[in-house]
Amino acid sequence: MISKLFDPQSVALVGASTKQGSVGYVILENLVTRFKGVVYPVNPKYDEVELWGRRIKFYKSILEIDAPIDAVVIATPAPTVPKILEEAGLKGVPVAIVVSSGFAEAGNVELENWTKAVAKQYGIRVLGPNCIGVYNAYTNFDTIFLPADRAGRPPPGPLALISQSGAVAAAIMDWAARRKIGLGLMVNYGNKIDITEVELLEAFAADDRIKVITLYIEGFKYPGEASRFLESVRKIVPKKPVVVYKAGRGRAAQRAVKSHTAAMAGTYEMYHGLFQQAGVIEASSVREMFDMAKALAYQPIPRGKRVLVVTDSGGMGIQAVDALEALGLEVPEVPESIANELKRELLPFAAVSNPIDVTGSATDEHYKIVLDTLLPTAFFDMALVVTLMQVPGLTKNLAEYIINSKKYGKPLVVVNFGGSELVQKFEDILEDNGIPVYPTPERAAKALWALYKYAEVKRKI
């Protein structure tokens, strides 16, 4: 039944509006102009209106719709929600997304409990209230009430996001859209009077479109949720990685969590221990969560933690080694016999010990020589490649050599820094072919650490 939450064929929008800028207007525009299914706007104020170049029929209530409805989106004042859910129950609607706010997060616990009771009486699964709902990039089912010109919609892709905060979810979507990160599914669950992050995790784990699940969490709400989370996620992570960012770590932040989504923040140490037991990969920021998720979605998991560093900048190479070693990864020296071979092929002043510095006089072919010589060997499990394209001997053809290195079956990430058209084109080619690109060695190193961490988790669980 919960699958109707992400992939409905027909949707009723209660609170649909013709008033520009209103919540009901934005959601209606999303659904009417892009959604691939059938939309039934519900608002007793209207009969038929002209919007977006088409005639749109409005219904007085859900009960007036003479067709099956997979999901109802409710965007009306909080006190009206229980009655609307009752009508949805009489209609046989299996899933409701309650966008409306003004429940327990605003002190109206009794109203929230009443809403929950009505939904339970009629067997309706409820997402929310106080949420922005669902975004499905594959079908354009989109209940986000923020205009697309302000909050971008990312393209389809292998990442899924579950977020306790609606504003954070929207900001992540906008950020992902600007960077062309494939965020296929997003759900914000708000006050979670019914559907929880555990059920959402299990649904995404069973979805073949999704390779990595990301989770932004502020705190569990009910007793027993932590144990259910642990039990569920331990079954998921051997199949798919789960990357979590827990907000609300300090005492003041925990107060904010309680007022935001009526959740119990708990101590950060408790959550940290829970994540370690569950086998999730923990991020320290939203950006880091997606840096790691991007690598996990497109790169193979490594056999070990030995990293080859190739760079055309000695300084960047040193930074990369510092970052890798700080994370517990290894940067072993190149064996002498292979180092001698590289000396014959590279420029006389190139450094061949690891990091391998092909220098600012490098050409595309120098990178190819290093990668083709060392990646097939058993001495390295992963590679971090720094490509400062300001070097005159490099061209966008270098991307082809790096992409071809995928044949060795080892994780590879690239550090590419700059703002020129060449830099951007080079980065786009790599990303389009599944090679994650990062602007700093530290971020690239953390991505490789996530791959190694997930390999360790799979071995243990």
Question: What's the pLDDT tens digit per position in 291-337?
Answer: 999 999 999 999 999 999 999 999 999 999 999 999 999 999 999 99
Q: Report the pLDDT value the prediction gives residue 251, as an integer from 0 to 100.
A: 56
With CA atoms as reference, report the closest residue to 173 among 186, 192, 191, 162. Answer: 186
Q: So what's the pLDDT on residue 398?
A: 97
Residue 261 in this model has a pLDDT that exceeds 70: no
Alpha carbon distance 62, 72 (integer Å)? 9
Domain 3-296 has CATH 3.40.50.261: yes
> Which residues make beta-bridge pairs with 438?
415
Q: Which residues contact 413 (CB under 8 A, 6 or more apart)?
A: 295, 299, 382, 383, 384, 385, 435, 436, 437, 438, 444, 447, 448
pLDDT in tens, 93-145: 999 999 999 999 999 999 999 999 999 999 999 999 999 999 999 999 999 99
Distance (Å, rounded) from C-alpha 61 to C-alpha 12?
A: 9
My answer on whether omega of the bond before 300 falls inside 30° of 0, hence cis, is no
Domain 299-460 indexed as CATH 3.40.50.261: yes
For helices 225-236 and 268-278, the axis angle rounded to 10 degrees is 30
Q: What is the mean pLDDT of the chain?
A: 94
**pLDDT tens by residue, 414-446:** 999 888 899 999 999 999 999 999 999 999 999
Q: Which residue from 322, 337, 293 is spatially nearest to 384, judged by alpha carbons?
A: 322
Q: Report the pLDDT value the prediction gives residue 253, as an integer from 0 to 100.
A: 43
Domain ranges of the chain: 3-296, 299-460
DSSP state of 105: G
For residue 117, how many C-alpha atoms fall within 13 Å in the half-sphere facing its CB?
6
| 225-to-179, 232, 271, 313 alpha-carbon distances in Å | 34, 10, 12, 49
CA torsion sign, 398 to 401 to 404 to 409? negative
Q: What backbone torsions phi and psi does residue 112 show, to the nearest 5 degrees?
A: -65, -45
Give the C-alpha separation, 168 to 99, whole Å: 15
Q: Which residues contact 339 (CB under 8 A, 6 or more apart)?
A: 333, 352, 353
Rounded-to-integer distance, Cα 68 and Cα 291, Å:
41
Mean pLDDT, rounded, for 224-235: 95
According to DSSP, the residues that pair with 220 across neighbouring strands are 264
What's the rounded Cα separation, in Å, for the pair 325 and 102?
Answer: 49
Establish whether domains 3-296 and 299-460 are of one fold: yes
Q: What is the pLDDT of residue 248?
A: 81
As a whole-number percent, the residues of the chain with pLDDT over 70 amount to 96
Which residues neighbour 104 within 8 Å (Cβ) at sequence distance 6 or greater?
112, 191, 262
What pLDDT was estimated at residue 187?
98
The length of the chain is 461
Asked whether residue 250 carries a pLDDT value surpassing 60, the answer given is no
Query: Residue 294 corresponds to which tokens in the numbers above?
Result: 């991007």
DSSP for 185-207? EEEE-TT-SS--HHHHHHHHHT-
Are the beta carbons of 72 and 11 closer than 8 angstroms?
Answer: yes
